[in-house]
Chains A and B, each alone.
Chain A
């Protein structure tokens, strides 16, 4: 009798797992998060600029700021947050099985991921693209000069296949040298083990800034791939997806409207601009559909800052930053020729 029950339940569980059916959501993610008292936000093993540990043991970075902003929007307190560091093999499973509420970790928004893995991407926090780093004195001026060159790449990523595609399409006959750890890849490159390094331009810019003499190296203008890096949530809970997406839009919109963590108090008290007043909850009821308090956007800007502030702090030239220029890149505001654009808040 008992054995039968056991076998049946095992079969049921197995069926559920193998048909890929997500467990039915009895409650909305927001309710679960509110009841639990903190947001569980997934990042990966440390990656410079995006999410990294400081010597004090705190998580910081551009992607961590999104996590903190979501916690600020819901609880008005950025400490009500648990950062989970998950290996990249387990990242989407961990989101889909409910372990994480939100994933914010340099995941490229691709069609197959968006449509097949039971997850939804919200909005890119960073537009990246694959490129090449070469020594300045090598005479290489574009990707086409890499004929027969040895190129170092980290293995197990789309970077490697993009490189092979690039080599095949342009008949370059590039020989690929693969590495597990990008630190070792860069070490080999610096000692002359390869003619160029390929990787995401942003992270390579960060790596170059850590080279003994950064000015000896440059990133070629070629871009091999589009890498829109975006947070993601579980598929099927639209309110939660809205919440995360609009948290990001508040950060971008605040920058557009010139609201920073320093002047947000002043703006809330004195601004005449109706858009700012609506965003900060002085008038209107924009927060209604999200299930949050009126000061949700105020808390995001006050406690985490707008997009530009966070970019400068972690990707820009600051002490913590990795020194990727924003001017003229896709990550500038749309008013300055970039792609960072927030729909109107009304």
Chain B
């Protein structure tokens, strides 16, 4: 029939508002008179802000000078980044002895190596890797940073940590390059894969014990110089406090949240009151109490380690905040999930560990990461009690003879530093959400 077109008609050109820059501008920025005025106004503001920042921070800035006065002599209107550059070691490491900085760097590299397997594909035993990071790495790093005499306990923990790190690296390499895990690999390479399970286990334990003893003997003679915690500072100190806080606040928060929802009255009341007390007192009050009131109760000349006090305070605080976040996540899980778990015969811990928590925590990732970002920024409060975190160091620059009065540049640098850290955390949280998403968004 003649009505039916047998050839496709020509594609029409897209309307101007689609696809062209002009169209986009029209649609988004100049859709109405009011919008146009707003756009011009905002552009105007952005232009002047960015221009001023550019001139101050880049175009007129001085990068090489010995004193602030020299900066002024070169260009009086620009930022004096030379001072920040001269202070970089101080900003990152605080008052840590400059000959011992390798210890902090090594500690950081070890943490990276330790955790890298978590992000590598095909590596097995990731839960063990994560657990050992929280349980063993702090001892190795702690000794590396503080130094001095190792007690017997510390010797054992350091040895365990070194063995765990070695096993972790080997396991990751095997998993990444040839598939499988470390125990299987050992058993196969000594041709015992046909042997009974008990024998295999004994062989592995023997290897572990031999390795442990060898490392133990070696580390007995390995000591590093004492560096008092009073010399810790800068971004390093911020990371130590925030790192320990983050690593311990989440487990603590989960336990407290479960405690608060427990059917056992004692546990519920204890958890609830603990959470409520710590959430109703400002962190700064507790920090003050701990450092100025505590020595009055202590024997003469007894000085508590302020850093430990601060870390404990930060951990308890954030555990309480996270407990409420986790509890919110738990509330969101429908009853059917619990009932389902019960029907297939799971007990309390298995129900929580396998069914409820994975869902609850996944829902709460944005809030949990939000708490972590808050924690990182809260660490700047420790300056009040005389610890030299990164912000205190930045503020000290303006009081150092050669750089007298250099405070704007320092604060701008600090803002950029914190932005980078917090933005990275936020980005990682988005990535985790996407990765863990099971597709039923509601």
Contact = CB atoms under 8 A, between A and B. Distances in A.
A40 B302 CA distance: 12
Contacts of A90: 288, 291-292, 385-386
Interface string B227-248: 0101101000000000000000
B405 interface: yes
B183 interface: no
A286 B306 CA distance: 39
A289 interface: no
A10 to B, nearest CB: 9
A187 B398 CA distance: 13
B392 interface: yes
B399 to A, nearest CB: 4
Interface of B: 67-68, 72, 76, 86-87, 89-90, 93-98, 228, 230-231, 233, 288, 291-292, 295-297, 300-301, 303, 383-386, 388, 392-393, 395-396, 398-402, 404-408
11 contacts: A27-B301, A45-B392, A48-B399, A52-B400, A53-B90, A55-B86, A57-B89, A57-B93, A57-B98, A82-B228, A210-B68
Contacts of A40: 303
Contact of A209 (B96, B97, B98, B404): B404
A212 interface: yes
A207 B407 CA distance: 12
A57 B296 contact: no
B306 to A, nearest CB: 10
Contact of B295 (A48, A57, A99): A99
Closest 5 CB pairs of A and B: A210-B405, A320-B401, A57-B95, A210-B404, A46-B399
A55 B395 contact: no
Contacts of A186: 405
B95 A53 contact: yes
A262 interface: no
Given A23-B300, A46-B399, A53-B400, A84 B230 contact: yes
A211 B405 contact: yes
A30 B89 CA distance: 36
A118 interface: no
A225 interface: no
Interface residue SS majority, chain B: helix
Contacts of A1: none
Given A16-B296, A98-B295, A321-B401, 18 more contacts: A53-B95, A53-B393, A55-B86, A56-B89, A57-B96, A57-B97, A57-B98, A90-B288, A94-B292, A97-B295, A98-B300, A99-B295, A210-B405, A211-B405, A212-B72, A212-B76, A213-B76, A318-B401
Chain B CB within 10 A, most for which of A49, A52, A55: A55
Given A23-B300, A98-B301, A212-B76, A93 B292 contact: yes
A174 B292 CA distance: 38
A107 interface: no
A86 interface: yes
Interface string A78-105: 0000101111001001100111000000
A47 interface: yes
A116 interface: no
Interface of A is mostly: loop
A11 interface: no
A212 B62 CA distance: 14
B297 A85 contact: no
A60 B396 CA distance: 12
B301 to A, nearest CB: 5
A243 to B, nearest CB: 17
Contact of B300 (A25, A57, A94, A213): A25
Contacts of B94: 57
A87 to B, nearest CB: 6
A17 interface: yes
Nearest to B404: A210
Contacts of B228: 82
A45 B394 CA distance: 12
Contacts of B388: 53, 85
Contacts of A45: 383, 392, 395-396
Contacts of B97: 57
Contacts of B231: 57
A47 B392 CA distance: 12
A209 B94 CA distance: 26
A183 interface: yes
A206 interface: yes
Given A47-B399, A57-B233, A97 B296 contact: yes
Contacts of A47: 399
A169 interface: no
**Which of B395, B404, B408 has the most chain A CB atoms inside 10 A of its CB?**
B404
Contact of B386 (A60, A84, A207): A84
B396 A26 contact: no
Most buried by A among B90, B288, B401: B401
Nearest to A14: B297
Contacts of A187: 408
Nearest to B405: A210
A87 B387 CA distance: 10
